[in-house]
Chains A and B, each alone.
Chain A
């Protein structure tokens, strides 16, 4: 059974710092991994999608990496801004096709202080 863990649960940094959020999963047989952002009381916004054959994806100040063999993914945020404050969730789709269920981690709540 796939389990997804995110550490730390919460993180507070001063504006301008570079930071890394961690996601680990127990079953390396994944189809893809997706990072989401959730603002308080809102739905989820997709940030990055990494296929199992890929090592990383970049979008602006965000870079997500994937190491299937070790069951880890990281989300790197460069030059953090107060607007980056949100909860970041990673979700893994297990199996060999896009019909597998998404399994979510519990998220890391990030606060970027001005």
Chain B
């Protein structure tokens, strides 16, 4: 299994500001994933973060809006920039772990963001 922590657990922010979310994993992983879960919706992958290289963003998500850092193999940050009410969501960090071919996806507890 994997133990993942996220900070903050929740925040209420003003429009136009930015918030940085931290994700810490209990042991080294190659890839870390950031997801968004909008109210009443399922999870959508924002980007994949590899240590030592630029993050890979999914369609509809751009680096200027969601810059990601991956300074080492156990830590990553996601910044939500220039926030608007439409950014109100739960943001989840995730890793994969297991024997190749049997990789299970594990998730952090999430960061609940409300933008006023």
1/0 per position for A47-71, CB-CB distance to B under 8 A? Answer: 0010100000000000000000000
Chain A hits for B6, CB < 8 A: 43
Whether B107 lies near A43 (C-beta < 8 A) is: yes
Given contacts A43-B109, A44-B107, A98-B96, contact A89 B43 (CB under 8 A): yes
B112 and A41 within 8 A (CB): yes
Per the CB 8 Å criterion, the residue count for chain B at the interface is 23
Q: Is the CB of B42 within 8 A of A43?
A: no
Q: Are A104 and B96 in contact (CB under 8 A)?
A: no
A106:B110 contact, CB within 8 angstroms: no
Chain B, Cβ-Cβ closest to A53: B101
Check B110 against A43 for contact (C-beta < 8 Å).
yes
Q: Which of B42, B45, B107 has a CB less than 8 Å from the CB of A101?
A: B45
Is B110 in contact with A42, judged by CB distance below 8 angstroms?
yes
Known: A104-B42, A104-B43. Contact between A42 and B102, CB under 8 A?
A: no
Q: Is B103 an interface residue (CB 8 A)?
A: yes
Per the CB 8 Å criterion, the residue count for chain A at the interface is 19
Measured CA separation A36–B106 after assembly (Å): 10
Given A42-B110, A43-B92, A43-B109, A89 and B42 contact (CB-CB distance below 8 Å):
yes
Task: Give 17 CB contacts A-B under 8 Å.
Answer: A34-B104, A34-B105, A36-B107, A41-B90, A42-B109, A43-B6, A43-B92, A44-B43, A46-B106, A49-B102, A89-B43, A91-B43, A98-B96, A98-B101, A102-B43, A104-B42, A107-B42
- Chain B interface residues toward A at CB < 8 A: 4, 6, 41-45, 58, 90, 92, 96, 100-110, 112
Closest 10 CB pairs of A and B: A44-B107, A43-B107, A104-B42, A43-B109, A106-B42, A104-B43, A43-B110, A98-B103, A46-B104, A49-B104
* Known contacts A45-B107, A89-B42, A102-B45, then 18 further A-B pairs from the complex at CB < 8 Å, ordered by chain A residue: A34-B105, A36-B107, A42-B110, A43-B92, A44-B43, A46-B104, A46-B106, A49-B102, A89-B43, A91-B105, A98-B96, A98-B100, A98-B101, A102-B43, A104-B42, A105-B42, A106-B42, A107-B42
